[in-house]
Structure 1
Amino acid sequence: MTHTPVGRTPLTRARVGHLDRSDVDLLGVRDHVAASWRRSLALGVDPGTIANRYHPDLELDSRLVRCAQPVIDRLAEQVADVPVCIALTDDHARLVARRDTQRGIGVLADGNNFATGFGYGEGEVGTNGVGTVLESGESVHIVGAEHFVERLQSYACAGAPVRDPLTRRIEGVLDISCRSEHSSPVLHSLVRSAAAQIQEALLLDRDPGQQALLSAYSRADARADARGRRAVLAVGRRTVLTNALTQSLLDAGDLLALQDHMRFVMFRTASTDEGVDLPSGTRVRLRGTVVAVGDSVAGMVGTVTVPQDDAGVVLVARSRARTAGRPAEHTAGPVPGARGPAAASRAPAWRAARATVAGALAESPTAVLVLGEPGSGRCRMLTDTDGELHGPGNVLAVGSEQLTDAPGPVADVIRNPDPDRLLVLRDVDRLPDAALETLSAALDDPRPPGRPLRIAATASDDAVGGPAYGALLDRFRWSATVPPVRHRSADLPELAESLLAELAPQREVRLSPAAHRVLARHTWPGNVAELREALTGALARRPVGSIEPSDLPESCQSVPRSSLRAVDQAERDTIVAALRDAGGNRVAAAGALGLARSTLYRKIRLYGITD
């Protein structure tokens, strides 16, 4: 901001004219100030009073506050001779910290509700050095009559956004406020410099994995730029970094699907160079390398190339033609005749697995192994795909318990197969050696002429079995791995609605937008099975109508960083229930639980409880 604020008299006249007629030309008013006045007027802000709200349940010892405090202290020393308030807000314009260089300016700030716990968004107090920063995304210096509310026109404020150094998302605002006569462009420079220092502190406060991912992404982006600009994407457990070219090449749905795919791949291989078919029909080439810290996977950094013809046109149509030639990959839309959570997917890894399964089931004899986490839909994929190819009702699924107790009858079915029936052996990685050996022997025995065996099995993708387990796997000819639900985030809304249709087929029941957001934040360690259980519980609470977050199990509002013991789960559920009863008010919830507010905040972070 290099312009000098215009004089008070013409500025005041422009503001009065704007209040009389919202469409009046704001001549002589800086563009960002004029835009803020228009927003303030449209939001119904009263120019004659300060009507901001107090928020009693703010977290005043957050990571942002912790990282900012030393910077604020140094800044206060730099401007100790000037009466100023240095304030830090969260990303909702609510003050979480304030430091005064002199008592008098603090008293004035308190009189204007510019104090810890109060909100200073544009929708409450109009143009100012906090709310206007959040609205514009840029630093601002608001002086005197540039404020929309009259009571603030004796003051000046310089504010700058504090961004997450990885995601670039605004985490808060740093603001310096003073009387107008003490204002100086130097304050604007100081606040921008201090905000950058807080961002650096946030970066250093990251765990080693996130720092390693950022470093690897920065190196890859620099190399890509040196080679003529390439799309670069870094995906961590909770972090995504992209350069501008990536966002211009891929739409939101394709980008989300590619992120899911990279999270799936990064736990399975150290590097990848593969073609990936995205939901839009575009086929991209992904070259990715895993970023590891010790034995832990921090993420994957990759370059993305979209094939183009000689005229530079992205080859979407040709990509669709190629994928359409694969018998059952189903790149878009539901599978004809199929129903349920395995019917369709936007996830490239899921569709690749389905293509492999379809190819195996189309051949005779059939021997396909489907790997994945328990509850991820392995058996459902086999059932739906076989139903599409050979008609419904031809699948016999046998559980690991039955195979353990009585493998002999199943062995007889293998020796004398029904060529129209697909036999699915579920969770073979859980079988004892005796059952594994019985099944292997049956697979080696000759079968009657004209009666080919159609067999499939499911197992965990991280199973470590002995020689008997390995010998059974040797009898299979194809394998595919189904990704877990957490790597199919784009599919979650359809998965949930499909399960609701199964659980309550004749009812008018749906998930509210807020409930969908709760489901999206959960990591679903139990996969589709856990989602089904959660929706079953929600239907018990609300049999018809719109399912709200309070109808979902407490576990859905928790994203812990590690597995929880039963006692931890019980405590987590109690805290979530108390927060729901208090309408999200953490102070009230802490009182109801008999906990100190700091203790409640610590446990919320520990259990990853979402708002």
Structure 2
Amino acid sequence: MATRAVEVEAARRAFVAGSTRVPGPDLVAPAVAASWERSRAHAVDPERITAHFLGHHRDVSRLVTCADDVLDAFTTGHPGAGCSVVLLDPAGVVRARRDCDRALARLLDAVLLVPGYGYGERAVGTTAASIALHDQADTALDGVEHFHTQLTCLAEAAAVVTDPRTGGTAGALTVLSHDTERTALALPLARMLADRVTEAMAGEPHRVTRAILDRFTAEHAAGGSWVLATDGDYVVTNGAARRLPSGDQRVLSDLLLASLVLADFTTQHVDLPSGRCAEIGVRPVHLAGTSVGCVLTGSPAGELAAPRPPESVRRQGSHVAPTTRRDYAQDLHTTRHDHAQARIRANRELLSPYLRARQEVVASIRQGRNHLLIGEPGVGKRTLLVEQFRAAYPTGRVVTVDGEAYAGDGDVPEPDLARSADGRPCLVLLRAMNLLTPVGARRLDEALRPLVALPEAPLVVGCVDTPAVDATRPYGLLLRHFHEVTRVPALRYRADEIGEIALAVLRRLSGRRALRLSLQVVRVLEGYAWPGNVSELEDVLRYVVARKPVGEIQARDLPQLCFQGRSRKMSMLEAAQCDAVIQALYECNGNRYRAAAMLGIARSSLYRKIDAFGISYIA
């Protein structure tokens, strides 16, 4: 064996030095000799490692995700294997590496066999992985058979990883050790690990489902009264949740879907349509560092106490009188806590009406329920709807039907309201329904009725530019097509969000120009009434962008209308919000931190409310 190693080393040195004679098959395998020739044709430097860092993929591929699980399991179960396992993609870039020997790991670091580096044949010459990827066959390589001098201390065995979907090559898995510790079991080990990666890739589409079902099973076994889980498309419920009234089930599923889309995982009280109050907790399900779903657990309020001990334990010492004082006011304490939580919940909904509207829209889109949005003109009903629909279905199709087109008595072309031929989800948006005439409403009703018979009916959402629904108007004929009604609040009721909305509109209008809002400008925008809502805000920012191409927007750049004083009467909603803030400040003796907690809002939001309503200092 030592004689062959010396002969191979001599042949390699001669070949590297420029010899045209290729070693025969009795000395070097034909695949290795061919790789030597390709390495020399690529002008590989045999004395200096020229591997370059090519970076990592921003989106982790399915190959790397599955290989990480397989390699982690191998290194955890065999910490003393004395080898390293490396995964390369079809381009020869190192994507993963696991080490079972620290000294070997330092050696691989020295030759830049590190994740993110290109280790193909063009960079370092002959390796087992490069031959396996080129010939589509498993390969074992002794140290002296490497083209590069610094790699002759390594023994390699590489196996091809097959993509189960396409049948092509997904990469190569290599087992490395020091050449003095090479073994004939390296190649079978590489083949076994490659097969496990292929099996994991075949089951990858079901990993998310398994992870969610495992979490669902664990929560159900823990004794949760109601357990619901979702991946965004389907909702799984346990028996206790299915026994709830249909209205309660819909509220819980809506909350679950909205929490997943908005990434709002909290514990809260919920008032159910049946009249009961429930304690609800929503927790995310993570897979490879990404939230892939969430699980909701809940029970009627007051039933989340510690689990009762077994009967045999509870009855031990029952003949002995209790040694602790009985709390006769325990039920009263619980009632006070429930009332306080219910008050916080009611205050949050009163002071943050837009959050509830967005949650209802998200849930309706996810569950395919037709929805009617009402509100003043320009409050952003269409923007909210299209934004959430695109977030749920990036490739979906939006068909807009303008109510003004049906306002006349002329012939109106029938819109294509059915789903497209490729099966993409479809949203039918009915704009300005309040402008419909009786004839137009009847025509639109005739166009909507056939959609119910479709196997996959499109989602129909209507927009009415009035703050209330009037069934006596012509569009009242279409109300039977909608399952829910949501009021989108006016911009003057969303002072906490005006800064973010203005920044988003500014980015859209300014394009690539560097424009930003000063804090003083944000305060001015928050103090204006915005009778035209978001449309008026867009007009103001369009005026500013036309006159200030770059830089920070100051208060002097705004039009005069933003500074006009106004003496208007508070609306009923504003008066209720103002009363709630004043009452909370009085009960907390002016402590704004405690008042914000009582109201269920952030302190910054409380400060804005105080400034907007002109509330004096309360101590």
TM over 0.5: no
* TM class by smaller structure: 0.3 to 0.5
- Please say which structure displays the higher CA radius of gyration: 2
TM-score, with normalisation over the residues of structure 2?
Answer: 0.35
TM-score, with normalisation over the residues of structure 1?
Answer: 0.35
